[in-house]
Chain A
Amino acid sequence: MSFLIPAAFGLAALAGPLIVLYMLRSRRQRVEVSSTFLWEQLDLPVSSAVPWQKLRLTPLLLLQLLVLAAFVLTLARPFYSQQTLLGPHTVFVVDTSGSMAMAGRLERAREHALDLIRDLSEANQVSVVEAGPRPQVLVAFARDPELVMAALNQLLPTGGRADLSGGIRLARGLATPDRPTNVLIFSDGGVSVLPEEPIAGADSVLLDDIGPNLAVTAWSLEPSTEGTTRAFLQVANFSAEPAVVRAQVTVNGLTAGFVDLDIAALGSARQTTPVDAGPGDVVEVALVGNQDSLTLDDSAVLIVGGGPERAVSVQGSGSPFLSALVDAVPGFTAAGDGPADLLITDGGPLPEIDRPTWLIAPTTPPPGVTLVELVQNAAVTYQRPGEPILDSVDLSVVAVAQAQVVEAPQWLVLVRAGDAPLILLGEVNGHRVAYFTFDLTHSNLVVQVGFPILGARILEWLSGGSAGAVSTEPAGTPIGLSAPAGTSAQVTTPDEITRDLAPGSASFADTGQPGVYRVGYRSEDGTVLEGPVAVRSFVAEESEGAARVIATAGGALGEEEASTLIREWAPWVIALVLLLMALEWWVGHQRPGWKRRSHRSIDQPKVPV
């Protein structure tokens, strides 16, 4: 036990005056009695003339000395040190990857964190970072345990891979110079990509609970040679015992068949089965009667695509940026040597416009457009306000080495550099045409953050909308949105909750839950235009539930020895003081029965009757 104010023990010297008071003869109190006749028979001792008397250790004196000692102890503020992971500012980084759903790892992490915040006081602040597929700060610099508890309770395991590095970066971003910050990582390590060096200023709580697990590790649809659809199923057994499992296949919620699999220990089994499903049908597989330690991977879902993906042909010089764009945008694929639904012309002469076309600085302008001159070193000065294609796309820093100055009175100018239009939309021969007046490789547009979004929206606009488009990605992958003008997006999540997004939202990132996400665009009159459908699947690598220690270098960021908690004994000592004072009062005023035990009862006079 240590003391915050040891000087208070000097007050123990008050015991001296207290004892002196007991040694001083008190002034005799006058008490009137019926007669002193009997008292005079006692041969009473003669009182001493000195004011002192022999000290008698009465219960009252002992109690008063104890009260004084307890009081001094209270003022000295005894305390004890307690090692805690909670520092002046602690950032909880909680892994919410798929493997954290195994055997209650996330629940244990939550309980551990809740235990820690019981120590939360005015001297401590806590932030919570969810390290899921897309790390985010749930609460920052909270002193209120209720806030932290609410943040911790909203954590749910996702079906994706944790971005622990991103979570730790977020946590470090919360560090402030005035307050030492330590990062506490609740994770199983899992399959996250981690830095090789120990993470400085951090501690980790390893959550390595594990149990047997059967997981659907592959579920896909492919056309068969007979023209029907076949489903491919793979189930992995992550336990040391072989397993026999039955999988139920449903189409739009109706049972379509069962697949029985014998799976060796630590092995996997695969099988294909015909599925009678058409475009837009939801085909789901689920392991029947399986009770294992990880349930999120016991099912998988697919949606039969709304038709063949649109083929995009890139003609002209082309560029890696355009190829990457076509590959990245869901619902579009490179046409190669086959027929193309869309055409991208990068430079060169004007092609025949018989389909939606994206013209990039053709040497000859399309009909309705007049080439006036070329302009050098042009910079964007204008973005058409309210244009959905440009929504959340910042082109203000885009500069081009050379651009065509054209006149196109029937075309819609989206972006302009001075008087020179840079991006225009129009129609030629009844087909939509997007016209870029500059070479992409002679500009910095392709390295802008907004380029993929801009490119995707142009492709979507050229294809006339995206209803029925289906994309299947790992859980946590954002869903790109392209809301038409005058609409706002809404997303229906796998648990059938519809979430309205703010107007202009370019993507929906809360896709950690495996399942089907349906996008709709709500117009002002309340009608909902059907948008793309996205499937987010459980990341198969998370099913194994592998755990590994995260190397950390403890200590707070900015200060050493920040994890010692000082706890005072004050409540107990004050309670002791009150107890002793009550006892002292009782002894001093209530005359306890034991004090008169030796007296004879008046009901039993000893003298003869």
Chain B
Amino acid sequence: MILPPELRARLERLSLVTRRRVAAQWAGRHSSRHKGESLDFADYREYVPGDDFRRIDHNLWARLGILLVRQFEAEEELPLRVVLDSSRSMAFYDKFEVARVLAGMVAYMGLAAGDRVQLFTVPGSDGRPLGVGPAGRHLSQWPRLETWLEGLEPTGGSALAPAIRRLAGEGPVRGSLVLVSDLLTPDWQSALDGLAVGSGGVILHVLGSEELDPDLAGDLRLADAESGGELPVSTSEDTMRRYRDALERFALDASGRARRSGLDYVLVPAVAEAPNRVLAALARAEAVS
């Protein structure tokens, strides 16, 4: 079980807030760029033959002498895509366990809100950059999504940019996107730049404690878990200070690129309290309501 019952109960009362209007195929609870049948007034337009007579505003016709019909907000479902980084680097420092919970949390919140939720993983199986998971529109479909998430293992190297490009080519429907990743890949910048999502989203940047505050000493050969490459490093106070500066620049750059792409950014330490911290951070950013 990825999500404990108390967290689920809390998530059922929350929903992601879209920053832009949704263009979707199915009616839902999010405002659409199309005018629709909701009770929320949107605008007037001149009457054209074929319009519903019931929408003609008779008061304006009496005062202005022109026929205007009332237009209302159309409520449509939010296509929510949740992308979980399952590269080998995520296997360290409890990052993948935390990331899987965060992905499940977002998916559950979307299902509870009646959104169409689609799960993805990077990389996919059989060498493909993107793995497509199950989709759902209702909480009754959560077990299927949960089972798929539980079956994921952090293996292989990630090529985040090709996966994002592939994701963009999945279809015309635009919506929200949530990326849960450590972004520890050389192409992370182009990947974020390509995430100009129609209705916004969130980058949940998960980093382990040893990545935030390495506990290394002496002369070492650091072996990259994904590429296998080794890097000689002699630790010292100066080395550690420079690492911390690099980490800070990395996070600031990721945050800036995310915002330019219309996404919120949350740096998540891979600790047990991560779900609560993420919800609090999203609430502060008004990304959930």
Question: Which residues of A approach B to under 8 Å, CB–CB?
Answer: 25-45, 47, 591, 596, 598-603, 605-609
Taken together as a complex, chains A and B put the C-alpha atoms of A606 and B91 apart, in Å, by 24
Contacts of A45 in B (CB 8 A): 234
Further contacts, 8 of them, CB under 8 A, given A30-B223, A36-B224: A30-B230, A34-B88, A35-B226, A36-B223, A36-B231, A39-B222, A39-B231, A608-B267
Q: Which one of A29, A37, A599 contacts B221 once the chains associate, using CB atoms below 8 Å?
A: A29
Interface contact A596-B215, CB-CB below 8 Å: yes
Which candidate, B14-22, B121-129, B245-253, is the interface stretch facing chain A? B245-253
Contacting residues of chain B (201-241) with chain A, CB-CB under 8 angstroms: 208-213, 215-216, 218-227, 229-234, 237, 239-240
**CB closest chain-B residue, reference A43:** B242
State the Cβ distance, B161 to closest chain A Cβ, in Å. Answer: 14
Check B212–A602 contact: CB distance below 8 A. Answer: yes
The chain B residue sitting closest to A601, CB to CB, is: B213
- Min Cβ gap B261→A in Å is 16
Contact in complex: B91, A38 (CB < 8 Å): no
Name the one of A26, A42, A596, A606 contacting B242, with C-beta atoms under 8 angstroms. Answer: A42
With A29-B219, A39-B231, A599-B240 in contact, do A34 and B95 touch (Cβ < 8 Å)?
A: yes
Cβ A38 vs Cβ B250 within 8 A: yes
Cα A34 to Cα B92 with chains together (Å): 6
Known contacts A32-B223, A607-B255; is-contact A47 B234 (Cβ 8 Å): yes
Counting CB contacts under 8 A, is B198 at the interface? no
* Residue B136 lies at the interface, judged by CB distance under 8 Å to chain A: no
Name which of B3-11, B52-60, B69-77, B180-188 contacts chain A: B180-188
Partner of B251, one of A27, A34, A607: A607
B182 touches A35 (CB 8 A): yes
Q: Does B93 sit within 8 A of A, measured CB to CB? A: yes
Q: Max chain B CB contacts within 10 Å: which of A27, A601, A605?
A: A605
Give the Cβ gap from A355 to chain B, nearest Cβ, in Å.
Answer: 116
* The one of A28, A31, A599, A605 that contacts B267, using a Cβ cutoff of 8 Å: A605
CB-contacts of B120-145 with A (<8 A): none
Q: Cα distance A607–B92 when bound, in Å?
A: 21
Other-chain contact of B248, A43, A601, A606 (Cβ < 8 Å): A606
Q: Which chain A residues border B229 with CB–CB below 8 Å?
A: 36
- The main secondary structure of chain A at its interface with chain B is loop
Closest to B256 in A: A608
B27 within 8 A of A: no
Complex-state Cα separation, A602 to B244, whole angstroms: 12
Q: Which positions 129-169 of chain B face chain A at CB distance < 8 Å? A: none
Given contacts A38-B184, A44-B232, A601-B213, contact A607 B220 (CB under 8 A): no
Q: What's the least CB distance linking A594 to chain B, in Å?
A: 13
B contact face: mostly helix, strand, loop, or mixed: mixed
B93 cross-chain contacts in A, Cβ below 8 A: 34
Knowing A42-B239, A608-B252, A609-B266 touch, does A33 contact B224 (C-beta < 8 A)?
yes
Most buried by B among A25, A40, A47, A609: A609
A43 and B245 CA atoms in complex are apart in Å by: 12
Q: Chain A's nearest CB lies how many Å from the CB of B215?
A: 7
| Least CB separation from A598: chain B residue | B237
Look across to chain A and name the residue whose beta carbon is closest to the beta carbon of B188.
Answer: A37
A25 cross-chain contacts in B, Cβ below 8 A: 219
Given the complex, which residues of A lie within 8 Å of B255, measured CB to CB? 607-608
Interface size grouping (class) on chain B: 35 or more
B243 within 8 A of A: yes
In the assembled complex, the Cα of A38 lies from the Cα of B247 at a distance in Å of 7
Is B281 located at the chain interface by the 8 A CB criterion? yes
Q: In whole angstroms, how far apart are the Cα atoms of A609 and B203 in the complex?
A: 11
B-side contacts of A608, CB under 8 Å: 251-252, 255, 265, 267
**Cβ contacts A to B, 22 pairs, < 8 Å:** A26-B219, A28-B220, A29-B218, A29-B219, A31-B223, A33-B92, A34-B88, A34-B95, A34-B225, A35-B226, A36-B224, A38-B243, A39-B222, A39-B243, A41-B246, A41-B249, A41-B250, A45-B234, A607-B247, A608-B251, A608-B267, A609-B266
Residues of A contacting B79 with CB < 8 Å?
none
Task: Give complex CA distance A411, B84 in Å.
Answer: 136
Find the A residue at minimum CB distance from B183.
A37
- Chain B CB count within 10 A is highest, among A31, A33, A47, for A33
Q: Which residues does chain A contribute within 8 Å of B114, judged by CB atoms?
A: none
Tell me the bound Cα distance from A566 to B91 in angstroms.
66
If A596-B215, A598-B237, A609-B281 touch, whether A37 touches B267 (CB-CB below 8 Å) is no
Chain A residues, Cβ within 8 Å of B267 = 605, 607-609
| A35/B213 in contact, CB under 8 A | no
A607: chain B residues at CB < 8 Å are 247-248, 251-252, 255, 267
B221 engages A30 (CB within 8 Å): yes
Q: Collect the chain B residues with CB atoms within 8 Å of residue A41's CB.
A: 246, 249-250
Residues of A within 8 A of B95 (CB): 34
In contact, B223 and A34 (Cβ under 8 angstroms): no
Q: Which residues of A have CB within 8 Å of B281?
A: 609
Residues of A within 8 A of B86 (CB): none
Inside 8 A of A44's CB, which chain B residues have their CB? 231-234, 239
Q: List the 5 closest pairs (A to B, CB-CB), nearest first.
A: A607-B251, A34-B92, A35-B184, A34-B89, A36-B224
Assembly CA distance A327 to B186 (angstroms):
129
Cα distance, A37 to B88, chains bound together (Å): 13
Q: Identify the closest chain B residue to A26 (Cβ).
A: B219
Q: Which residues of B contact A37 (CB under 8 A)?
A: 184-186, 224
**Cα(A479)–Cα(B138), bound, Å:** 122
Please indicate which of the listed interface residues A28, A36, A47, A600 has the most CB atoms of chain B within 10 Å of its own CB.
A36
Known: A44-B232, A608-B265, A609-B267. A31 touches B248 (CB 8 A): no
Give every chain A residue within 8 A of B216 (Cβ-Cβ).
31
Alpha-carbon gap, A593 to B195, bound state (A): 43
When A28-B220, A39-B243 are in contact, do A34 and B211 touch as well, CB less than 8 Å?
A: yes
Min distance, Cβ B243 to any Cβ of chain A, angstroms: 6
Tell me the complex Cα distance, A36–B88, Å.
13
For the complex, is B2 an interface residue (Cβ under 8 Å from A)? no
Q: Which residues of B contact A38 (CB under 8 A)?
A: 184, 211, 243, 246-247, 250
Cβ A605 vs Cβ B269 within 8 A: yes
How far, in whole Å, are A608 and B230 apart by their CA atoms in the complex?
Answer: 30
Q: Once the chains are docked, how many angstroms separate the CA of A47 from the CA of B12?
A: 56
List of B residues within 8 angstroms of A605 by Cβ? 212, 251, 267, 269
Smallest beta-carbon distance A58→chain B, Å: 10
Q: Contact flags (1/0) for B253-286 with A, using CB distance below 8 Å?
A: 0010000000001110101000000000100000
Chain A residues near B247 (CB-CB < 8 A): 38, 607
Set of chain B residues within 8 Å of A33, measured between Cβ atoms: 92, 210, 222-225
- Chain A contacts of B234 at CB under 8 A? 44-45, 47
- CB neighbours (8 Å) of B242 from chain A are 42-43
Most buried by B among A40, A601, A608: A608
Chain B contacts for A606, CB-based, 8 A: 248
The CA of A289 and the CA of B89, in the complex, are separated in Å by 100
